[in-house]
Structure 1
Amino acid sequence: MAVQPEGAPCWADAMFHDLEGAKSFYGDVLGWTFGESSSEYGGYTTAYANGKAVAAVVPPMPGQESDSQWCLYLAVRDAAAVASRVREAGGEVVLEPMRVGDFGTMCLARDPGGIVFGLWQAGTHEGFEAMGEPGAYCWAEIFAREPATSDAFFTAVFGYRTKEVEDDAVDFRLFDLGDDTVLGRMAMTEDFPAELPPWINVYFTVADCDEAVSRAAKLGGVLRFGPMDSPFGRFAALSDPQGANFSVIDITTTRGEPPKVTSAS
């Protein structure tokens, strides 16, 4: 696939203390196969769906005790310049821009509300080789405890235009680049456990949502929400056995009309 425009999701990876366990789980639930672990890059291991690179898993670095979680990377043309914008907008650069061989340049950042995300300046690795296909990335939503803060930050850094979903039951916005909607933002209410930090929830495409949920449960995954029909597909929110949150969606099974939206900025 071509390099994504600046601010668009382009890659996802996750750290797992039990790397083989993660490979077994996602291999069964999402049908992934895995390349060779790269000792040069800390055991970084690419996941493939139908032969196309769709994500990666990696073991923790020595002494790293972080919980397992998926990290979404946003495409940038100049990682150093965007890192400066992150700071100017009140965010934090967790990992300074770092060249990864000829593959590209990565950076990790955190918005003022605590949401961690990545920046990726493409080299030979342009990002997802497939999207919206079984096993591949489909969509992502920012779950924010400080929605106004996160909205201001992400629009300042990436120039998103925002649209608000007309629904009194939820505070949900869409982030647009040009004519394309690239991210959603959900406000976290008191219904979310207090110990759950804000995060970006990544959706992976599956051929059958219910079957994927069943496979995940048999392998020790936890169903957090759903399965539920929507105008965009039948989806469910899960946690894998190591605690990383993600969602699955069957985009071929849709029901209902898309919600009305109004321009917010």
Structure 2
Amino acid sequence: MLTTDYKEGSPNWVDLGTPDTDGAAGFYATLFGWDYRPGGEDVGGYGMFRLDGRTVAGGMAVTAEQGPSTWTVYFQSTDADACAATVLKEGGAVVLEPTDVQEFGRMALFTDPAGVAFATWQPKRNKGLDAVTEVGTLCWAELYTADVPQAGAFYRSVFGWEISEMPFEGGSYTMVKPAGATDAAAFGGLVPIATDPVEDAEHPYWAPYFEVVDCDLTAAAAEESGGKVRLSPVFMEGVGRFAKLADPYGARFAIIASAPPAGS
């Protein structure tokens, strides 16, 4: 389970690049109850999505020339520069060199060998998101990729992840967790994109999952607010009820109403 006691390699930030910050703010306010606070010129307008006064995501305007609207997942690193060097060594690419963000931290943007964008955040004053795993916040991250073993080897080299298989009827699910952690600390999964009928094998990506109370109602609200239900709500025993969505500008993400922990 993802917590704010961030470890090396665990997701500690997520942000949205969108062509319309006002429109996106309204959409996510409807879905999750977030409010958006735009930043000033000193941070290029980069703003914060907040829930009950706590930061739960970042957001910024992007132009068509800069790329499509998308969610980006950041993983914790104690040394963004060393992380960038390992990314290059293992066949990835550095899109944005490690850069100080004032006194808050140091970040870098990469792509993995399959071209999937991800980022790293080296905390200084800002340790990361204020809340995770609660309703309306980031709770899981899932990579859709053509080659799960290759992706696992790459991210293991970059972040030290440990990888395990969770069996289910008809197959298994590849889970990732920080080094030395138990399976209870797993924060994400790796999925062969060709096995998922709603995904495009030519466009692998990291999907952030946000916790909700009612998956069906949230999916319906997304559609009513101009978004798209890419995968209608599905129930999985022991996991919960989840759906895949896209916001009105095409940014892909997922929602889940998680099953209660075993024994609760």
For normalisation by structure 1, the TM-score amounts to 0.89
Instruction: Pick which of 204-213 and 237-246 moved more.
Output: 204-213
Q: How many Å separate the matches in 1 of 2:4 and 2:33? A: 24
Paired residue for 1:172?
Answer: 173
8 A Cα contact 1:142 1:200, kept in partner? yes
Could you give the per-residue CA deviations for residues 170-224 of structure 1, whole angstroms, max 9, x where no partner exists?
A: 5631112222212210011163554751111101111221111111010111111
Matched ranges for 1:140-155 at <5 A: 140-155=141-156
The structure-2 alpha-carbon separation of the partners of 1:205 and 1:256, relative to structure 1 and needing over 3 Å to count, comes to: same
- Comparing 188-197 with 75-84, greater Cα deviation is found at 188-197
Q: What's the offset of the Cα at 1:166?
A: 2.8
Assess if the C-alpha contact under 8 Å between 1:233 and 1:255 holds in 2.
Answer: no
Match of 1:250 among 238, 252, 257: 257
Residue 193 of structure 2 corresponds to residue 188 of structure 1: yes
Distance 1:202 1:196 in 2: 19
Q: Which amino acid aligns with 1:217?
A: E
- Could you tell me which residue of structure 1 aligns to residue 240 of structure 2? 233
How many Å separate the matches in 2 of 1:166 and 1:212?
29
List per-residue Cα deviations over 1:1-28 (Å, max 9, x = no partner). Answer: 8551110000000111111110010111
1:60-89 Cα offsets, whole Å, 9 max, x none, are 26x734111100000010100111111111
Match of residue 19, structure 2, among 14, 17, 20:
17
Q: Distance in 2 between matches of 1:194 and 1:140?
A: 18
**Aligned twin of 2:81:** 80
Distance, in Å, in 2 between the alignment partners of 1:255 and 1:74 is: 25
1:219 is matched with 225
Return closer, same or farther for 1:208/1:167 CA change in 2, 3 Å cut-off: closer
Worse-matched range after superposition: 161-170 or 107-116: 161-170
1:67 aligns with 2:68: yes
What runs of 5+ residues in structure 1 fail to find an aligned partner? 258-265
Which residue of the partner structure matches residue 28 of structure 2?
Answer: 26
2:164 corresponding residue in structure 1? 163
Which range moves more in the overlay, 204-213 or 70-79?
204-213
Distance 1:212 1:112 in 2: 34
Specify which of 196, 203, 223 is matched with residue 197 of structure 1.
Answer: 203
The corresponding residue for 2:114 is: 113
Q: Distance in 2 between matches of 1:68 and 1:112?
A: 21
Contact 1:6/1:77, CA 8 A, preserved across alignment? yes
Report the 3-state secondary structure (helix = DSSP H, G, I; strand = E; otherwise coil) of the residue aligned with 2:187.
strand
Question: Distance in 2 between the 1:36 and 1:111 partners?
Answer: 30
One-letter amino acid of the counterpart of residue 213, structure 1: A
**What amino acid is aligned across from residue 188 of structure 1 in structure 2?**
I
Counterpart residue type for residue 221 of structure 2: R
Q: How many residues in Structure 1 have an aligned counterpart in Structure 2?
A: 255
Structure 2 CA distance for partners of 1:103 and 1:81, relative to 1, 3 Å? same
Q: Is the 8 A contact 1:15 1:59 kept in 2?
A: yes
C-alpha distance 256-76 of structure 1, shift in aligned 2 (>3 A): closer
By how many angstroms is 1:155 displaced?
1.1
After TM superposition, what 4+ stretches of structure 1 lie above 4 angstroms from structure 2? 167-171, 192-196, 253-257
The structure-2 alpha-carbon separation of the partners of 1:165 and 1:137, relative to structure 1 and needing over 3 Å to count, comes to same
RMSD: 2.2
